């Protein structure tokens, strides 16, 4: 097999017809470094954006976790059941609303194997819990977003959630 460097010279000759600014180079020419400066500036700006987005997301998720803990505590205090398996749906009523649906069995049992009590919790955290604005019962083996399976809605806003 031939040496690559000898074939390279003849190969490079074919680019001579191109204008100088378009010709390929084996190595970069030492210049004023303007392009490198622009690239570095863009990189730093992108880096700042990613860093701010990361910190913002950590703060957002920390808030979500605090709400999650308060939601579960609210459900346990409201129902009087100190059950371990309590589910919190933070998207059902819109993730931006910060209104969450917390569901758990009304008697001991595997998750969703029994009738569930679901609560809509809202507002800021006070004393480690949030305000219950509505609630409903849900038949066993049902998902909390299936409206037709809800019954016995209660609370100030309860009527809006039952079929």
Q: Is 8 exposed, middle or buried (0-12, 13-18, 19+ CB in 10 A)?
A: exposed
Residue 32, classed as helix, strand or coil, is coil
Binder to another protein among 96, 110, 124, 148 (CB under 8 A)?
96
Q: Is 54 in the site for another protein (CB under 8 A)?
A: yes
25 lines the binding site for another protein (CB under 8 A): yes
Among 62, 113, 128, 141, binds another protein (CB under 8 A): 62
Of 7 and 152, which CB lies nearer to another protein in the complex structure? 7
> Which of 113-147 are b and which e, b meaning 16 or more Cβ less than 10 Å from the residue's Cβ?
ebbbbbbbbbeebeeebbebbbbbbbeeebebeee
Q: Is 55 in the site for another protein (CB under 8 A)?
A: yes
Nearest CA to 71 among 129, 118, 117, 145?
129
Q: Is 82 in the site for another protein (CB under 8 A)?
A: no
Q: Which helix (H) or strand (E) holds 29?
A: none
User: Cα–Cα distances in Å, from 72 out to 27, 46, 58, 92?
Assistant: 62, 38, 21, 16
Closer residue to another protein, CB minimum distance, 11 or 107: 11
Binding status of residue 8 toward another protein by CB under 8 A: yes
Beta carbon of residue 35, minimum distance to another protein (angstroms, whole number): 8
Tell whether residue 45 is a contact of another protein (CB under 8 A): no
What are the residues binding another protein (CB under 8 A)?
1-5, 7-8, 11-12, 15, 24-29, 35, 39-40, 43, 47, 49-58, 60-63, 65-66, 68-69, 95-96
């Amino acid at each position: 097999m031939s040496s690559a460097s000898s074939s390279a010279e003849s190969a490079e000759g074919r680019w001579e017809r191109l204008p100088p600014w378009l010709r390929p180079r084996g190595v970069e020419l030492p210049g004023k470094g303007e392009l490198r400066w622009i690239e570095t500036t863009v990189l730093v700006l992108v880096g700042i954006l990613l860093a701010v987005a990361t910190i913002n997301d950590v703060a957002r998720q920390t808030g979500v976790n605090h709400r999650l803990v308060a939601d579960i505590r609210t459900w346990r205090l409201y129902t009087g059941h100190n059950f371990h398996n309590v589910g919190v749906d933070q998207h059902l009523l819109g993730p931006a609303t910060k209104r969450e649906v917390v569901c758990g069995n009304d008697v001991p049992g595997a998750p969703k194997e029994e009738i569930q009590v679901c609560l809509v919790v809202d507002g800021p955290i006070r004393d480690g819990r949030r305000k219950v604005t509505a609630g409903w019962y849900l038949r066993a083996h049902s998902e909390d977003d299936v409206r037709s399976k809800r019954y016995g809605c209660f609370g100030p806003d309860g009527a809006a959630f039952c079929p």
